Amino acid sequence: MAAVREALPEGRYGHSADARADRTLKIVGAILGAGLLALIAWFGYDYIAGQDVSGRMTGFKVVADNAVEVRLEVTKDKGTTGVCTVRTLDEYHGEVGRKDFTFGERQGDTVEVVTVRTTARATSAELIGCEPVR
């Protein structure tokens, strides 16, 4: 006959070591999870609030074999000078033009149509980025 061992009575000798370890792991996990969420939120806020100058290209028009008009929406503080870089590409995605446009301190949010001269006929244009002048 096999010996059957009876379990200890429930609750008589306190919580088992496994229950204490589980509780500790849950607490540590909750603290680390909250810390990670706070860190992600802080990085997101810093990224959005830290951008002094931002831009968006809303359209372009090829006006000649050597010129493209680009429509830019630039958002910046009124006391900041910003520079936006635009490049134009040919049908093989080779760069045929690039130009930096400066937006002065006195302008706030603005919409501008700028012209980029090209070395060959462009088929597309893209905004590389905008940044404050330092």
pLDDT for 75-132, tens place per residue?
Answer: 887 788 889 999 999 999 999 999 999 988 777 788 889 999 999 999 999 999 988 8
Q: Rounded CA gap, 90 and 23, in Å?
A: 63
Most confident listed range (4-18, 56-70, 93-107): 56-70
Q: Give the Cα-Cα-Cα angle 70, 97, 55 (nearest 5 degrees).
A: 40
Confidence label for 2 from pLDDT (cuts 50, 70 and 90): low
**Given a cut of 70, is residue 16 above it in pLDDT?**
no
Enumerate the β-bridge partners of residue 84: 101, 130
Q: What are phi and psi for residue 123, nearest 5 degrees?
A: -115, -15
